[in-house]
Amino acid sequence: MQLPKWPGKSRAAVYLLLIFLCGVVSGALATNLWTNWERERDSRVARATSPGTRTRRTVERFTRDLHLTPEQAQQLTVILDETRQQYRSQEDATREQARNRVREILSDEQKPQYEEIVRRNDKRRRQNRQ
């Protein structure tokens, strides 16, 4: 059985269509892979840089480099945890001041949307702190 012969322009159009479809499929796959890779990388970074992990790594490094005793390492952990809490409270106060300034410039229609954005950001921040 022999395939019918297509005119030159029809054959070229089919090839162009096939090439275009291959490009669409390749682009969709690459975008999907890139998006999932970014999400996975972000979650790994968040886990690796959690406050407890950073404190532990800092204490381990200081213990190794300065030959800290176990008692000194424990005291250093307390100091770093307290310092992080102080930074957080200052950061929270500064954030709230900025939010209040933003609220002042928003219209009554914009404020509910802004509060929703703030709520989502706070939720994400709480999740990242855990």
The domain locations on the chain are 10-48
pLDDT above 80 (res 14):
yes
Write down the pTM of the prediction: 0.49
DSSP of the chain, one letter per residue? --PPPPPHHHHHHHHHHHHHHHHHHHHHHHHHHHHHHHHHHHHHHHHHT-HHHHHHHHHHHHHHHHT--HHHHHHHHHHHHHHHHHHHHHHHHHHHHHHHHHHHHS-TTHHHHHHHHHHHHHHHHHHHH-
Q: For 47-98, what is each residue's pLDDT tens digit?
A: 555 667 888 999 999 999 999 999 999 999 999 999 989 988 899 999 999 9
Give pLDDT, residue 105. 95
